[in-house]
Each structure stands twice: as structure tokens, then as C-alpha cells.
Amino acid sequence: MVTVVHVVNQFFAGMGGEDKAGVPVGVVEGATGAARGLQSQLGERATVVATIYFGDNYFHEHIDEAKAQILKEIGSRRPDVVVAGPAFNSGRYGVSCVEICHAVADSFGIPCVTAMHEENPAVDTYREYRDPKVFLLPTKATAAGMSEALIVMARLACRLGSGEELGPAREEGYVPRGIRRLERSDRPGVERAIDLLLKRLRNEPFVTEIPVQIWDRAVPAAPLAPGRNATVAVITTSGVVPWGNPDRFKTYRNTFWRKYNISELKMLERGKWEAVHGGYNVAFMNQNPHYGLPLDALRALESDGGFRLYHSYYVVPGNQGSPSVMQRIGQEISADLKKEQVDGVLLVAT
């Protein structure tokens, strides 16, 4: 009998919605909430020995403590497989599921199954980890696809919990992670490459052996007209925030942005600002926050005329940011800039 631990958020544990998003990590022996549906699909092949739950806000505001508690509960039970989610298109929940699965696989070597919509920003985090023991299955965008999601999650969990080796993503149905394995072929690479080329020329279906990520091409905006008294905003990925990090940014893989008012400031005073970032030595930035947000230089230029500095600056610590998340953040900031009638943006270097 395969043993399973199911990890869910407060909503799918049946504890409530946003009003319960601050609930700390808890455990129910056996199956509860969505885990009951999972147990129904597992049948006699496997049993859910415990359901671990957490509040969406709690996990992201106390990520280290939350992961440590979840690992403690899973470690004491040592299940054959861990199931997290499904998260559908919920970004917070999706990131939690991926982070938990990675931590479990990394700490105990236990295989993990999660599931979410392919446009969930956490999918890129899953791909970046490239963890060979974590498998992410695609779902519909909303919980309307719960039954279908639990069916495929249960099937995969039983196979993994039994020690079965899975084949490639395109054959098994999980989202590819970019892991490449050597395979023996009876045909040389040149013949296979020519076949793929001919299929493409004939508009026939084919599957590439080396998939690559295609990046968007951004067309630069037109420059600001000379002499125009433009409103200019500053965006920084340096992670410079008010001292104490009031919005609890992480040093890596952030999924949100904030803006802070600087309308009454002529400079950033040391000791009132700090850098939250895991990609460089923040000691120098903490000594002189102007390295990440050059407010002193901007005020000097503003006094010369030609532009007006927007009353707030935008910030997200950009370290290890997944492309889809950064794209979403850029779109959200752009919408706010348009709403505020900002004319131009200075994206300062980190």
C-alpha cells in the first residue's frame, strides 16, 4: 500500500477563504478537504496518511518557518509520495506547492506531484528548479477541473510511490522541466535532423529533440519630446526598500512588486533604507542606497527643469525572477504607470 501526504492551502482544507489566509501550518491525520477527493481516486492502491494545510498569506509571509514545519511533519511520516495542490491558476498557491515539493524532494528524496494551470507563474519556478523528483501536471484554470485534476494526480502518485520510473514528459503528460537525458538511437543525428527539417517544410507535425525557450522581442517606445515637462518614474530591481522590509520581500523569486512614496525626500538617508536581494553583496547598497535608487542625482536633474519626478518609485528584487512572473509584474506596473499618467520611465541598473 502506497502512503501519501497531501498538502493543501486553507481553502482546499475546508477552513475558509481569504479571511483564513493567515492560518499557520497544521495537520489532520488522514484525509480532509480536497484530500478526501484524492483518497477517492486513489482507491485501494494508496492511502492518505495525513493532510497538511497552511494559509496562503502565512506561507509567503513566513516561508522559512512554514517550510520547516511542513518538512518536520512529512519527515516524521516518511510517505512514499507527497501530493501538493492542485493550485489551478492561483499564483500564491502555485508557488507554495512548487517550493514545498522542491524542499521535500531535496531534503528526503521523496517524489512529489503537484498540478496547476500552465499559465500559473509557478510553472516557470518549477522549470527553473529542474528537480527530477518533482512532477507538475497541467490542469484547467479554475477549480471546476478539480475532479479531472485529482484523477491524473492520483494515477501519477501511485506510480511514483511504487518506485516506477517515468518516461519523457511528452509521453507521460507532465509539464516538461528542461531536463535532457541521453538516449540511444539507431539513426545518426544528421538523418534525424533532416527528417525534422523536411517535416517542417511540408507543414507536418514533428517534435523537436532540443526544445528552447522563445523570448519576446520588445519594441522600444519613442523618446520623450524635447522641452516637454514630462513626468518620469523610477523602477528598480535592486531591492531597495524602506528599512525593515515592510512588505516582506524575499531575497529571490519574488512574485509581487510595490511602490514607495518619495515625494518629500531629496535623498535617501542611510539607516532608513535597505537592500533585499540575494544576487549581490547588499552591504554597499545599505551604506549608500543611491546605488540602487539615485534619488540625489535625480533631484539635481529635476531642479534643472525638463521633467518632474513621479511621487513614488517601483521596486521588486529581481534575483532569480522567473520570466513569466517578471512579465506579469511588468504588465501590472505598466498599467499603473498609464493610470497615473506617467510619461517616461528610468529603469536603473542594479
Answer whether residue 341 shows pLDDT above 90.
yes
Decide if 97 contacts 116 (C-beta within 8 A).
Answer: yes
Percent helix, strand, coil in the chain, to 5, is: 35, 20, 45
Which band of pLDDT confidence, cut at 50, 70 and 90, is reported for residue 198? Answer: very high
**How high is the mean pLDDT of the chain?**
92
CATH 3.40.50.2300 domain locations along the chain: 2-172
271 vs 178, higher pLDDT: 271
Read off the pLDDT of each residue in 45-59 and give the average, rounded to a whole number.
96
Read off the pLDDT of each residue in 36-65 and give the average, rounded to a whole number.
95
Decide if 224 contacts 250 (C-beta within 8 A).
Answer: no
- What's the start-to-end Cα distance of the chain, in Å? 53
Which band of pLDDT confidence, cut at 50, 70 and 90, is reported for residue 204? Answer: very high
Burial readout 165-197 (b: 16 or more C-beta within 10 A, e: otherwise): eeeebeeeebbebeeeeeeeeeeeeeeeeeeee
C-alpha 173/C-alpha 297 separation (Å) is: 54
Identify the pLDDT of residue 67.
Answer: 96
Read off the pLDDT of each residue in 308-325 and give the average, rounded to a whole number.
88
C-alpha 231/C-alpha 343 separation (Å) is: 5
Q: Strands of 46-54's sheet, edge to edge?
A: 26-29, 46-54, 2-9, 81-84, 112-116, 134-138
70-124 pLDDT, tens digit each: 999 999 999 999 999 999 999 889 999 999 999 999 999 999 999 999 989 899 8
* Apex 107 CA angle, 104 and 111, nearest 5: 45
Name the helix (H) or strand (E) containing 240: strand 240-242
The CATH superfamily holding the domain 2-172 is Response regulator (3.40.50.2300)
Q: Using N-to-C axis directions, what is the helix angle for 63-77 and 91-108, rounded to 10°?
A: 50
Comparing 139-148, 207-216, 217-226, which segment has the lowest mean pLDDT? 207-216
Tell me the three state secondary structure of residue 256.
coil
Decide if 348 contacts 293 (C-beta within 8 A).
Answer: yes
Decide if 278 contacts 347 (C-beta within 8 A).
Answer: no
Comparing 44-48, 55-59, 178-182, 276-280, which segment has the lowest mean pLDDT? 178-182
The burial of 74, by beta-carbon neighbours within 10 Å (0-12 exposed, 13-18 middle, 19 or more buried), is given as buried
